[in-house]
Amino acid sequence: EEDFEEINEILQDKAKFEIMGDNRYITQRSFDVYESAASNENGVAGIFATGGVGLSVGQGMASMMNQQVQQPGHQPTHKICPACHGSISSSSKFCNLCGENLVRKVITCHSCHNENEESSKFCSTCGTSLLKPVCSCGQEIDVNSKFCNNCGAQVHPI
């Protein structure tokens, strides 16, 4: 019976934790601990608990305010399409008016791994050419290839 009751209490605590989330559950449990310490007949623990409650409440409020600042609650719901200048949902990956791809297109430099705009010919960080090398047979070659996979010719470094 006792084990069954203890297991039920653990499951109830687990459910509270899942429903309330990490921070709220921890705060509630802290208040439970302080309440238990304050009700202690010794009195010394009650003094420390009272001081801790004041400190904990101050820290908790500062933490909540910090989270509200860091997590924008009022994100714009619409943005302007760069192609047709229409108003579209801010979460859209494609414009529902003209079909423009709204995902930022980048090329990663094979030398320094910096992200560059898709239209860039040279890396804005190290100056390495971002154009894929082309073999004498006309086949595009991967920058790390030593041989052309179309004609087998040896690739010379750029």
**Average pLDDT over the chain, rounded to an integer:** 75
Structure tokens of 129? Answer: 């050419």
- Which residues does residue 85 pair with via DSSP β-bridges, in sequence order? none
pLDDT tens track for 36-74:
766 666 555 555 545 554 555 555 555 555 554 444 555
Closest to 31 measured CA to CA, from 10, 5, 8, 49: 49
Structure tokens of 12? Answer: 């109830």
Q: How many CA atoms lie within 13 A of 9 on its CB side?
A: 6
Its pTM stands at 0.35
The residue ranges of every structural domain in the chain are 2-70, 76-104, 112-158
pLDDT tens track for 3-40:
888 888 888 877 776 676 656 666 677 777 667 766 66
